[in-house]
Amino acid sequence: MPIDPLRLHLPPDLSPERIVPRPASTDGGGEFVLYWMQSTFRAHHNFALHHAVDVANALRVPVLVYHGLRHDYPWANDRLHTFILESVVDLAAAFAARGIQYTFWLDESDAPGATWPAEAERRPAAAPRPPSALQILADRAALVVTDFLPTFIHPRQLRGLRRKTKTPVVAVDSATVVPMRFHDKAHLSARGIRPVLMNALPRFLVAPEEPVLDVRRTIEVPFTPTVPTLETIPALVARCAIDHTVPPVEAIRGGTVAGQARLRDFLVTGLPRYAAERGDPNAPVTSRLSPYLHFGNVSPHEVLLAVRAADIPGDTGSSGENAEKFVDEALVWRELAHNFCFFDPRHRTPAAIPSWAQVELEKHREDPRPALYTDAQIEAADTGEPLWNAAQRQYLRDGFMHNYLRMLWGKAVLQWTTDAATALRILEHNNNKYSLDGRDASTYSGLHWIFGKFDRPFYRHPIYGTVRYMSLKTAKDKFDVAALLRR
Ligand SMILES: Cc1cc2nc3c(=O)[nH]c(=O)nc-3n(C[C@H](O)[C@H](O)[C@H](O)COP(=O)(O)OP(=O)(O)OC[C@H]3O[C@@H](n4cnc5c(N)ncnc54)[C@H](O)[C@@H]3O)c2cc1C
C-alpha cells in the first residue's frame, strides 16, 4: 500500500520544511529504507536518519545507513580523509548502540588523483560505468533519504542519484536550526535575517527526538565494508589515490566524541570571555567548532542548547552578552550563509558579488597593485607581508584560522591579483584545500564578504573602491601582532 510520509506523524522538530522536495510517497516495495549519509556525520540529532526511521517503522522494514568516501571529491587529501575516517570510528560505535546497520565503503581505487576543480570540471562525460554500490542499494530500497546541503558537491550528487534510480530520493536539512526552506527569500544582511531567525527559534530550537527503529535485520551489501580504527587510519589513507601533500592535523581529531569534548571545553574556558575577546586572534576564546559543524559531528541544536543552558559567570543565561554574541555567530551568521547558498546557485562564482561592489571593483581594476604574486607564492605563504604569511601558515599547518585573521587574509589577496575573479579563485582553493571547515556554506559567505556581500559601501580606497578595505599594517592597533608572529 502506498505510504505517504507526509501523513505520517511528523513531530514538530521534523517539520516538512526540512525535507527537500516535499516528502515523497513510496509504494512500500523495497527491502529497507536507505539513509545515504553524505554530510551529517552523526547518529544523533540527525533529521535524515530520523525521517528514515519513521518511514521504515511505518513500512515495517529496517534502515540501512550507507556512507561512502570516494577518492575524487574536490581537494581530497590526507587531512580531510583522516578527519572523515576518525568520524567513521565514532559513527560505527554510535549506530551499533542504536541498533541501526551502518556500513562504510572506502574508495581505494588507484584511479588518477583528484585534480579538482579546473580539470575535473572540464572533463568530458565519462563512459557509462557499472552501477555503483549506492545505486544498487538505492534500487533495492523503498525510499532513499539523504542529507541536504546547498553547496559543494552535494546538489550535483543528489541530482546524480535521482537520475540513476527509480526509487524516490528525499534530502533532509540537518545543517540548520531554522530550516533553509523556512525562508521565502534570500536575505541580504545579518540585520535582515536576524529577527526572522529569532522569531522562529522557539519552534525549531528544541532537542530533536531520537526515534527507535522497530525492525532490525542485517542487509547484505554489494561490497566489502571498511571498518577503520584509529590505528589503521594512516595506512588506509596512504592507500587512497588522493593528494598526500596535506598532512592530517593531530590537534583536531574528527568525530562526535572529539566535537562534543570541544563543546564542553568551550562552555567553560571560552564562552565566559567570548563577547569581549572574540576579535582577538591571540585569545583562545572562540569555540573552534566549525570543523565539527561542517562535517556534522555535532549539531547546531546541541551547540545552541548547551550555550543557552550554560551557567556563565556574569551572564544571565541566554540573555547574557556572551551567549547573545555567540548566538549571533552560530545562528545568525551561520544560517545567513546557508540562506545565501540555498537561494543563489552562483555562490561559488564572482557573479554572486553584489552588483554595487562589482561596479566598484571594475572601476578600480586597472589601479596599480603593490605587488602581484603567483598562485604558488600565495599558497606557499611567500608574500612580502609577515602577518599574512602567518595567517596562511595557520591554514597550511593547523587546518584552521581565527575569524579576524580570515578577514585580513581574504581582503589582502585582492591587492596582489589582477581582479576579483582571480582573487576569489585563489581564496577558494586555499580555504577549501587546507581548512578543515572549508567547502561549507560559511566558506562562501565568508569569501563573498571579502568582495562586499552582506556589507555596505565604505570610504573609497584604491583597488577596492568602496568595498571595505582592511589594512594588514594597522592590524597592530587591533591585536598583538608580534605575539601572533612569535606563535
Ligand atoms: C574569508 C573568510 C573565510 C571563511 N571560511 C569559512 C569556512 O570555510 N568555514 C566556516 O565554517 N567558516 C568560515 N568563515 C567564517 C568564520 O571565520 C568561521 O566560521 C569561524 O572563524 C570559525 O571559528 P570558531 O568555530 O571558533 O567560531 P565561533 O566564533 O566559535 O563561532 C561558532 C560557529 O558559528 C559559525 N560562524 C562564526 N562566525 C561565522 C561567520 N562569520 N560566518 C558564518 N558562520 C560563522 C561557525 O560555524 C562557528 O563554528 C570564513 C570567514 C571569512 C571572513
Q: Report whether residue 406 contacts ligand 1, using a CB cutoff of 6 Å.
A: yes
CA 257 to ligand 1 centroid distance, Å: 21
Q: Which three cell numbers stand for residue 237?
A: 589513507
pLDDT at 200: 96
Range with the poorest average pLDDT among 17-26, 191-200, 261-270, 427-436: 17-26
Q: Whose CA is closest to 470, among 417, 404, 408?
A: 408
Q: Report whether residue 329 contacts ligand 1, using a CB cutoff of 6 Å.
A: yes
pLDDT at 130: 76
| C-beta of residue 44 within 8 angstroms of C-beta of residue 210 | yes
Q: Over the stretch 11-52, which tens digit does the pLDDT of each residue have? A: 555 678 898 776 567 777 899 999 999 999 999 999 999 999
Q: Report whether residue 407 contacts ligand 1, using a CB cutoff of 6 Å.
A: yes
CA 329 to ligand 1 centroid distance, Å: 8
CA 125 to ligand 1 centroid distance, Å: 36
Mutation test residue for ligand 1: of 277, 329, 340, 400, the one with most atoms within 8 Å of CB:
329
Cα 76 to Cα 365: distance, rounded to the nearest angstrom: 34
| C-beta of residue 74 within 8 angstroms of C-beta of residue 31 | no
Residue 4 pLDDT exceeds 90: no
Q: Which three cell numbers stand for residue 223?
A: 561490497
In a domain, 119, yes or no: yes
In a domain, 268, yes or no: no
Residue 134 pLDDT exceeds 90: yes
In a domain, 250, yes or no: no
CA 293 to ligand 1 centroid distance, Å: 10
- Counting from 1 in the atom list of ligand 1, the atom nearest the Cα of 337 is 43
CA 61 to ligand 1 centroid distance, Å: 40
Distance in Å from the first CA to the final CA of the chain: 65
pLDDT at 320: 86
Q: Name the residue with the closest Cα to ligand 1, atom 47.
A: 290
Q: Report whether residue 296 contacts ligand 1, using a CB cutoff of 6 Å.
A: no
CA 286 to ligand 1 centroid distance, Å: 10
User: How many domains is the chain built from?
Assistant: 2
CATH number for the domain spanning 122: value is 3.40.50.620
- Counting from 1 in the atom list of ligand 1, the atom nearest the Cα of 449 is 53
C-beta atoms surrounding 9 within 10 Å: 9
Q: Provide, rounded to the nearest whole percent, the portion of the chain with pLDDT above 70.
A: 91
Task: Please tell me the chain's helix, strand, coil percentages from 3-state DSSP, rounded to the nearest 5.
Answer: 45, 5, 45
Local structure of residue 272 (DSSP, 8 states): G
Cα 165 to Cα 163: distance, rounded to the nearest angstrom: 6
Q: Report whether residue 446 contacts ligand 1, using a CB cutoff of 6 Å.
A: yes
pLDDT at 175: 98
Q: Name the residue with the closest Cα to ligand 1, atom 12.
A: 442
pLDDT at 17: 87
In a domain, 449, yes or no: yes
CA 401 to ligand 1 centroid distance, Å: 9
| C-beta of residue 237 within 8 angstroms of C-beta of residue 81 | yes
Cα 60 to Cα 217: distance, rounded to the nearest angstrom: 11
| C-beta of residue 6 within 8 angstroms of C-beta of residue 23 | yes
Q: Report whether residue 439 contacts ligand 1, using a CB cutoff of 6 Å.
A: no
**Helix residue ranges per DSSP H, 328-419:** 334-343, 355-363, 375-379, 386-393, 403-414
Domain boundary among 160, 181, 202: 181
Question: What size, in residues, is the chain?
Answer: 487
Which SS3 state, helix, strand or coil, does residue 35 take?
strand
CA 290 to ligand 1 centroid distance, Å: 6
Local structure of residue 283 (DSSP, 8 states): S
Q: Which residues on neighbouring strands pair with residue 68, listed in sequence order?
A: 105
pLDDT at 19: 87
Cα 84 to Cα 68: distance, rounded to the nearest angstrom: 10
Q: Report whether residue 299 contacts ligand 1, using a CB cutoff of 6 Å.
A: no
Cα 102 to Cα 225: distance, rounded to the nearest angstrom: 10
Cα 43 to Cα 103: distance, rounded to the nearest angstrom: 13
| Bridge pairing between strands 63-69 and 33-36 | parallel
pLDDT at 24: 64
Q: Which three cell numbers stand for residue 289?
A: 567548532
pLDDT at 23: 58
Q: Name the residue with the closest Cα to ligand 1, atom 29.
A: 286
CA 337 to ligand 1 centroid distance, Å: 10
What domain range includes position 139?
Answer: 16-181
Range with the poorest average pLDDT among 12-16, 59-63, 136-140, 387-391: 12-16
Cα 198 to Cα 65: distance, rounded to the nearest angstrom: 34
Domain boundary among 130, 153, 181: 181
CATH number for the domain spanning 363: value is 1.10.579.10
In a domain, 395, yes or no: yes
- Counting from 1 in the atom list of ligand 1, the atom nearest the Cα of 292 is 49
Segment 441-453 shows an average pLDDT of 98
pLDDT at 126: 53
| C-beta of residue 373 within 8 angstroms of C-beta of residue 389 | no
Q: Name the residue with the closest Cα to ligand 1, atom 32.
A: 330
Q: Report whether residue 438 contacts ligand 1, using a CB cutoff of 6 Å.
A: yes
Cα 422 to Cα 473: distance, rounded to the nearest angstrom: 23
pLDDT at 235: 97
Q: Which three cell numbers stand for residue 346?
A: 552562483
Between 193 and 29, the higher pLDDT residue:
193
Entry pTM: 0.95
In a domain, 291, yes or no: no
| C-beta of residue 295 within 8 angstroms of C-beta of residue 438 | no
Longest Cα–Cα distance of the chain, Å, equals 70
| Bridge pairing between strands 169-172 and 33-36 | unpaired
List phi, psi (to 5°) of 173: -85, 105
Q: Report whether residue 470 contacts ligand 1, using a CB cutoff of 6 Å.
A: no
In a domain, 285, yes or no: no
Q: Report whether residue 282 contacts ligand 1, using a CB cutoff of 6 Å.
A: no
Q: Name the residue with the closest Cα to ligand 1, atom 43.
A: 334
Domain boundary among 146, 181, 216: 181
CA 281 to ligand 1 centroid distance, Å: 13
Q: Over the stretch 249-301, which tens digit does the pLDDT of each residue have? A: 999 999 999 999 999 999 999 999 999 999 999 999 999 999 999 999 999 99
- Counting from 1 in the atom list of ligand 1, the atom nearest the Cα of 407 is 53
CA 384 to ligand 1 centroid distance, Å: 26
Q: Over the stretch 230-243, which tens digit does the pLDDT of each residue have? A: 999 999 999 999 99
Confidence of residue 6 (pLDDT cuts 50, 70, 90): very low
| C-beta of residue 187 within 8 angstroms of C-beta of residue 342 | no
Q: Over the stretch 347-372, which tens digit does the pLDDT of each residue have? A: 999 999 999 999 999 999 999 999 99
Segment 364-386 shows an average pLDDT of 97
Between 466 and 20, the higher pLDDT residue:
466
Cα 408 to Cα 423: distance, rounded to the nearest angstrom: 13
Cα 116 to Cα 484: distance, rounded to the nearest angstrom: 33
In a domain, 365, yes or no: yes
C-beta atoms surrounding 485 within 10 Å: 11
Average pLDDT, rounded, for the chain: 92
Q: Which three cell numbers stand for residue 108?
A: 581505494
